[in-house]
A and B are shown apart, each in its own frame.
Chain A
Amino acid sequence: MHWRPACLLVLGIFTSLIHGTHIAEEQFEEELVIKSLEDGRVASTFTFTTLLKDASPRDPRTLALEDDEPQHYTLFPLTLGQLLRQYAITELHLTLNAGKWKYDSWGYPVAAGVGTGAELYAWLADGAPSSIDERWQGLRNALAGLFCASLGSLDEQRTTSPHLSFPPEGLLPDWDGLPHEIRHASHASEHVCTENLTPFLKLLPCKSLSGLASLLNPHRMFDADWHGMGLHVLWRPEGVEVRLNFQMVSDPLRSSTKKQDWSFSSLYDRTVVRTCPVAKSSRAVVSLPNNGVYSIVPEPSTIEAGKGRYDLKDKKPDETLDIQMQWGADFEYPLTSPASLVPFSVQRKLHGPTQDRGQLALVLQNHGSETIKVSYLETMPWLVQFYLHTIQIKVDGVRRDDLISNISYVLPVPHSRPATFYSILTLPGRSTVTYTIDVTKAFLMYTEHPPDAQRGWDLPPAVFVLLDPPSGGQHVAAQGFRVYSPSLLVDLATPDFSMPYNVIIFTCSVVAFIFGSIFNLLSRKFVIVRLDG
C-alpha cells in the first residue's frame, strides 16, 4: 500500500480535475422492468446504474497538463472512465437500437433514446488545447473501438449541434463560464448485435455471470421484435453516474401460442441463479395489468401503484428466480384501433419515385382535444437538401402555414456537413397536420458510393419533443420526452456498378466520338482540291 500517499498527493494537487479516485465511494444498482403491452408483446428494460460518488467531470483546461491521475475503480468501468477523462466529456449518451418503436401501441419507452440505428451525443466544454471537434472525433473512435460499432462513420458529414432538442440530462459544471457545446450524430443503418452486447456486458461489475445481467442472453435479445442498448454518462450533484440500459420488446404470441404468458425462461431462456454480490440494490418490477385474469408466480414482495416489486437480494442462495405470468384467457387482438398511448403520433415519408426530386411528408396527429406544441428537429445529411420556400402545412386539407414557427436552419454543405432544421409546430386539438417540403436528392461523386451492396442511404429519424403538454392531462410525464420518427431510405442516382466495363466503354466511345469530330473540325485546314475528270 505504499502508493497510497503518492496518490493522495496527486489528489491534493488536482482536486478540481478529477472525477474518479480510489477513495470515492461507488454504488451499483440494477433493475428490470417488465410490462405487458396492449398488442400482446412484452417490454423488458434492464437498467444498470453505477454512481461514482462525489466525483465530477474533468475540466477540459487540465487536458493541457499531463494526466497521471490513477484511476482506481472497483465497480465503475475503467475503460469508460479512461475515455471520459481523456476527452473531458461532461455528458455522454450512446444508443444502439434495432427496429421501429411503435409509440402508438407501446407508449413511451423507459429510456427515451429509441431512434433506429446508432445515436451518439455528448456535451463538452471548450477551453482545452484541442478543439471540441477534435475531442468529439476522438470520442467517436474510442467508443467505436469499445463497442465494436461503426461509430467512426459518425463523422462531420453526420455531426450536428441540436442543443434545443437534446438538453443535458444532468448538470453542467461551471468552469469560470466556459461554454458547453453539444455534438450529436446518428447512423440509422447501424445494426446492433452480439458483438455490441459483449463489450456492453464487460462494463458491468458482475458481467453476465450473476444478477439481472445473467438474463441478457444474446440469442433471445437479438430475436426480439425491438431491442436496443444505451450508455448514458451524466453528472448529478451526488457524483458521476453511468447508466447502462437494455430494452427489448418480445412477442410471446409469435410462435402460434394463443396466450400472452411469459416467464424469464420463455423471454430470455435464462433464470436468475445468483445475485450480483456487489449490487446495492437489485430488483425486478412487473407492471401488473389492470384487467384480465392472470397469475404471477412467485408473488411480488411488495405491490404498489400497479407494480409488483421483487428484491433479488432477498432471494435464498439455493433458489432460482423465474418470474412467470400466466393468463386465464387467450389473448385477443383489439379489432378496432385502440386509443393511442401518446398525445401525438408521427408518420414520415419520402415521396417521389424519381432519383433527383422528392418530397418529405410528415403527418402528425394530435390525439387530444387541446392544442399542443412540439419541436421538430431534422438532422438531414446533405444527400437530401430542403427547399424551405416549399414548406406547406395543411390541417385536414386546409392550408395553415401559421402553425410553424421558430424556424432555425443550418445549411448543409455538400460533401461535408448535414443540415439542421429546427422548428416548432402547433398541432390543433384532434387534428391531422400534414407538413410537406420539397427536397432535391444529391448526385454523388463516384468515389462517394459505398463499395458494398447498395440498398440506398438511410436517413436518420426526426426528433419531436412535446413542449407544453395540456394542463392536467395524462401526458404531463410526456413533456420534454423525445419522440423519434422512423428512419427513411433514400434512393439516389446510382450507376450500375455491376457492369463498370460496359459503362466505361460506352462513356469513352461517346467522349472520343464527340471530341474527335470536334477537334478534327477545329484543327483541320480546308483547301480546295481539284479532281481531274
Chain B
Amino acid sequence: MDNNWRIRLRRRFRPEGDPNLVRVRRRKAIVSAFSRRVTFLRLILLLVGYIWMVALPYPQLGRGIYIDENALQPGQVNTYWGWGDVHNSDRYLDDLERLRDSNATSEQRAQYLDTEFRKIGLFSSTQTYQFTSQDINGTNTYAILSSPRAPGVEAMIISASWLSRIDDGNGALNLRGVATVLALAKFLKQYSLWAKDLVFVVSDGYLDGMQAWLSAYHGTIQSNLEAERLEMSSGVVWTALNIDYPGHSFSHLGVFYEGLNGRLPNQDLMNSFHVICSRMGVPVVLYDHLDPRSYPDRRKELDWLPEWLPGALRNDPEVRAYAYNARNVWRHVVHQASGRGSGVHGLFHQFRIDAFTMFALPATGPHGFHALGRVVESTLRTSNNLLERLHASFFFYIMTAPNRFMKIGNFLPSAVLISVAMMFTGLKEWSDSGWTQETLRNAEKSTETQAPGWTRRPRPVLRALCIMISSHLLGVATYLLMNSGWDGQNSIGGMLVLTMACIFAFGVSAVCSKSDRGGAAPIASVLKALNLCFASTIISATTVLNFSLAASLAVFLGIPLSVSSTSKNLPLRASKFSLYLFLSLGWVLKHERLNWNWEIMGVWLLPFLWIVYFPLVLQAGIVCLL
C-alpha cells in the first residue's frame, strides 16, 4: 500500500519516457497555463496591490515599537533640569520677545544669541549666508560645548529654527524653542558626563538657515549658496534634536521625522523619545494629530470619519483606529513623497545624521519649559550612550500611531505587486504585438476544426524606443527651460510646456502613421509594452528609496498606463490624449514650490517629475493618439 503510493507519487513527478521530452512538455504546459490566465492574474495583482495599500493603516498590520539598540537605555537616568532652568528659559524668552517687538534684523538677533552663548561660557560664532538664486539670506548662530575629556570627534546637535513649522515657515516664530536651546546650553554645561560634543544651533529662517549651516559644516556648499566658513567645528554628528515650540504651552509633543528625498531617521531614536516621554508623563503624538478617541468633545474637529457614515460603523473601535492611523499614514506619504521632508530635521539625514523634530503642540496646558527640558535632557543622555552609529535595519518603517509602526515587509509588497502587474501587462502586450492571427485564405475551404494559425510579425522596436528617448529628452528640455528664468512666470512657462508636449505628441503620431509599414506590428502596441515595462521597473526600484513616492507612482501610473489604447474615433482619441496630458502636467501648478525645494535643498522630485514621470505619461498619451 505504502509502496503503491510512493510509485504513484514518483510517476506524477518523474513520468516514464524521455526525461528531456517530459521537461520540455512540462515547461510548455506551465507557460501556456500562465499565458492563458495572464489577464486574470494581473487583475488580481492590481487588485491585491491597491487593497493592500488601502489596508496599510489597518492596526493589525503593524506592531508595537521597541528599542533595538541596547546601548540606548532610554529613560534610565535621573534628570536634573529644574525650575531654576525654567526661570532661565523665561528670561531668555523675555529678551527674545523684546527683539521680536523691536523688529530686530537677523544680524541683531544673531548678535544677541552670540552674546548669550558667550556669557554662558561657550565658544560661539555666527554665520551669514545667502542663496543667490532665491534672494534668501540670514545669519545663523551656533555654539559648541566641548565635552570634558572627549577628543571632540563626535557630536550631537540641539537646534531650533527661528521660524516655526506650525504654518510651514510662513512667519510664526519659534521663540520658545530658541529660548529652550539657550537655557539648555546653560544647563548642560554644568555636567561632565557628556561623551560627545554638544552643538547648539539657532538657524535663521525656516529651512534655508539650517541648510546653509549644515552645508558649511560638512564642506559641501552648493553652487547657489554663499555661506560663510564656520569659525569653529566639531566632529562627526550622530544625532540631532530639533525643538519647535511656537505656542504658549503645550499638551503633547509631536514627532516629525520625514527627511529630504524620502530619507527617514533611525527609528530607535524616536522610539527612545517615546519611551522617555511616557516615563516623564508627557504624551506623544505623531505630527500634530491628536487621537480623536481621547478627546470625545473635540471629535468634530479631529476625526477623519465623515458624519454621514452610519453610527454603528462610525463608532466601531476598529474603524476608528483605522481612521486615526490612516490620517497618520496619509500625512507620512505626503511628506515623504514630496521629498521635502516635514521640517528642519529633514535636512540632517543627507549627512547621515539621525534627527527628528519635537513639536510642542500649542495648547493651554499643562506642559511647558519644565517638561520639555526634562525630555530633551533625557533624550540627550540616551543618545550620549551610543557607542556606535545607530544602525540595524531600522530605517524602513511607517509610523501608524505614536507607539505602532509597520515593518518594511508589511508595506513594500503593495507597490511591488502593482509594478509586477504592470510588468505582466507590458509583457503580454509585447508578446501580442509579435504575433498576428492569420486569417488564412483557404480557411473556409478547410475543415472547421482547423484553428486559425499564428504568424510572427516584426516589431518596430527601434521606432518605439526613439519615441521614448525623445520624450525623455523633451522632459530634460522642459526641465532646463522651466529652470532658466521661467520660474517667475509659471503660467507662461506652463502654457509653453503644454504646447511643446502637444506639438511633440502630434508630430510623433503624424510621423509614425505616415511611415507605417504593412505587416509590422502597430507601433502603439510596442510603445505601450515598453512604456509599461519601464514604468514598472522605475516603481520597483523606487520602493526602497522612497516608498511613498513609489506608491504614488503606482497609483498614478498603474491603471492609466495599463488602459492606454488607441481608437478609431478621433474625438475619443483627442479627449483621451488630453486626459493623459492633464495627468502628466497637472502638478505644474505647484512648480514654484517644487523649484524652491530643488534649488535650496536639492529635493529631486522636480527633475524626477520632469525627466521621468512626465515623459512616461506622455508616452501613454501618444499611444492613444497613434
Q: Does chain A bind chain B?
A: yes
Q: List A residues at the B interface (Cβ < 8 Å).
A: 39-40, 98-100, 102, 116-117, 188, 222-227, 251, 253-256, 332-336, 347, 349, 351-353, 359, 361, 363, 452-456, 458, 486-489, 491, 496, 498-499, 527, 529, 531
Q: With A and B bound together, what is the CA distance between A92 and B259 in angstroms?
A: 52
Q: With A and B bound together, what is the CA distance between A457 and B150 in angstroms?
A: 15
Contacts of A359 in B (CB 8 A): 219
Contacts of A353 in B (CB 8 A): 218, 220, 350-352
Contacts of A256 in B (CB 8 A): 190
Binds A, one of B93-101, B274-282, B383-391: B383-391
Instruction: With both chains docked as a complex, state the minimum distance between the C-beta of A194 and any C-beta of chain B, in angstroms.
Output: 13
Among A188, A225, A335, point to the contact of B149 (Cβ < 8 A): A225
Query: Is B189 located at the chain interface by the 8 A CB criterion?
Result: yes
B121 to A, closest residue via Cβ: A333
Among A39, A491, A527, point to the contact of B236 (Cβ < 8 A): A491
Q: List B residues at the A interface (Cβ < 8 Å).
A: 18, 20-21, 24-25, 28, 71, 115, 118-121, 146, 148-154, 189-192, 218-220, 229, 232-233, 235-236, 350-352, 387-389, 391-393
Instruction: With both chains docked as a complex, state the minimum distance between the C-beta of A77 and any C-beta of chain B, in angstroms.
Output: 27
Instruction: With both chains docked as a complex, state the minimum distance between the C-beta of B536 and any C-beta of chain A, in angstroms.
Output: 21
Instruction: With both chains docked as a complex, state the minimum distance between the C-beta of A350 and any C-beta of chain B, in angstroms.
Output: 8
Is A489 within 8 A of B392, CB to CB?
Answer: no
Is B20 within 8 A of A529, CB to CB?
Answer: yes
Contacts of B190 in A (CB 8 A): 254-256
Q: With A and B bound together, what is the CA distance between A40 and B121 in angstroms?
A: 9
Among A223, A363, A486, point to the contact of B192 (Cβ < 8 A): A223
Is A335 within 8 A of B153, CB to CB?
Answer: no
Contacts of A498 in B (CB 8 A): 391-392
Among A99, A116, A496, point to the contact of B391 (Cβ < 8 A): A496
Give 9 A-B contacts (CB < 8 Å), ordered by A residue: A227-B149, A251-B148, A255-B190, A347-B233, A455-B154, A489-B153, A496-B392, A496-B393, A498-B392
A434 to B, closest residue via Cβ: B229
B115 to A, closest residue via Cβ: A335
Is B387 within 8 A of A489, CB to CB?
Answer: no
Instruction: With both chains docked as a complex, state the minimum distance between the C-beta of B211 and any C-beta of chain A, in angstroms.
Output: 14
Contacts of A351 in B (CB 8 A): 218-220
Is B150 within 8 A of A100, CB to CB?
Answer: yes
Please provide the 6 A-B residue pairs with the shortest distance between their CB atoms, ordered closest to farther: A351-B219, A453-B387, A489-B153, A116-B151, A225-B148, A453-B388
Contacts of A335 in B (CB 8 A): 115, 118-119
Among A99, A188, A333, point to the contact of B118 (Cβ < 8 A): A333
Among A227, A454, A458, A487, point to the contact of B388 (Cβ < 8 A): A454
Among B219, B236, B351, point to the contact of A489 (Cβ < 8 A): B236
Contacts of B236 in A (CB 8 A): 456, 489, 491
Contacts of A116 in B (CB 8 A): 151
B21 to A, closest residue via Cβ: A529
Among B149, B153, B191, B387, point to the contact of A486 (Cβ < 8 A): B153
Contacts of B118 in A (CB 8 A): 333-336
Is B148 within 8 A of A499, CB to CB?
Answer: no
Instruction: With both chains docked as a complex, state the minimum distance between the C-beta of B373 and any C-beta of chain A, in angstroms.
Output: 16
Contacts of B352 in A (CB 8 A): 353, 491
A432 to B, closest residue via Cβ: B229
Is A489 within 8 A of B20, CB to CB?
Answer: no
Known: A255-B190, A458-B153, A531-B24. A223 touches B387 (CB 8 A): no
A532 to B, closest residue via Cβ: B21
Contacts of A336 in B (CB 8 A): 118
Contacts of B191 in A (CB 8 A): 254
Contacts of A347 in B (CB 8 A): 232-233
From B20, B149, B190, residue with most partner A Cβ within 10 Å: B149
Contacts of A227 in B (CB 8 A): 149
Instruction: With both chains docked as a complex, state the minimum distance between the C-beta of B187 and any C-beta of chain A, in angstroms.
Output: 9
A188 to B, closest residue via Cβ: B151
Q: With A and B bound together, what is the CA distance between A336 and B220 in angstroms?
A: 29
B236 to A, closest residue via Cβ: A489
Contacts of B24 in A (CB 8 A): 529, 531
Q: With A and B bound together, what is the CA distance between A189 and B158 in angstroms?
A: 25
Is B387 within 8 A of A99, CB to CB?
Answer: no
Is B388 within 8 A of A529, CB to CB?
Answer: no
Known: A333-B119, A498-B392, A531-B25. A100 touches B192 (CB 8 A): no
Q: With A and B bound together, what is the CA distance between A351 and B217 in angstroms?
A: 8
Among B71, B229, B351, B391, point to the contact of A363 (Cβ < 8 A): B229
Q: With A and B bound together, what is the CA distance between A100 and B196 in angstroms?
A: 12
Among B120, B151, B233, point to the contact of A487 (Cβ < 8 A): B151
Among A117, A349, A455, A456, point to the contact of B219 (Cβ < 8 A): A349
Known: A256-B190, A498-B391. A99 touches B233 (CB 8 A): no
Additional A-B contacts beyond A333-B118, A499-B392 (6; CB < 8 A): A100-B146, A100-B150, A256-B190, A335-B115, A455-B389, A529-B18
Contacts of B119 in A (CB 8 A): 332-333, 335
Contacts of A117 in B (CB 8 A): 151
Is B220 within 8 A of A458, CB to CB?
Answer: no
A363 to B, closest residue via Cβ: B229
Contacts of A251 in B (CB 8 A): 148
Contacts of A99 in B (CB 8 A): 148-151
A40 to B, closest residue via Cβ: B121
Instruction: With both chains docked as a complex, state the minimum distance between the C-beta of A484 and any C-beta of chain B, in angstroms.
Output: 11
Contacts of B150 in A (CB 8 A): 98-100
Among A102, A254, A458, point to the contact of B151 (Cβ < 8 A): A458
Contacts of B149 in A (CB 8 A): 98-99, 222, 224-227
Instruction: With both chains docked as a complex, state the minimum distance between the C-beta of B320 and any C-beta of chain A, in angstroms.
Output: 37
Is A455 within 8 A of B148, CB to CB?
Answer: no
Contacts of B393 in A (CB 8 A): 496, 499
Contacts of B388 in A (CB 8 A): 453-455
Is A486 within 8 A of B152, CB to CB?
Answer: yes
Contacts of B387 in A (CB 8 A): 452-453, 455
Contacts of B18 in A (CB 8 A): 529
A98 to B, closest residue via Cβ: B149
B114 to A, closest residue via Cβ: A335
Is A253 within 8 A of B151, CB to CB?
Answer: no
Instruction: With both chains docked as a complex, state the minimum distance between the C-beta of B601 and any C-beta of chain A, in angstroms.
Output: 15
B219 to A, closest residue via Cβ: A351
Contacts of A453 in B (CB 8 A): 71, 387-388
Q: With A and B bound together, what is the CA distance between A487 and B233 in angstroms?
A: 12
Known: A349-B233, A529-B18. A223 touches B120 (CB 8 A): no
Instruction: With both chains docked as a complex, state the minimum distance between the C-beta of A358 and any C-beta of chain B, in angstroms.
Output: 9
Instruction: With both chains docked as a complex, state the minimum distance between the C-beta of A224 and any C-beta of chain B, in angstroms.
Output: 7
Instruction: With both chains docked as a complex, state the minimum distance between the C-beta of A104 and any C-beta of chain B, in angstroms.
Output: 9
Q: With A and B bound together, what is the CA distance between A467 and B313 in angstroms?
A: 83
Q: With A and B bound together, what is the CA distance between A335 and B111 in angstroms?
A: 11
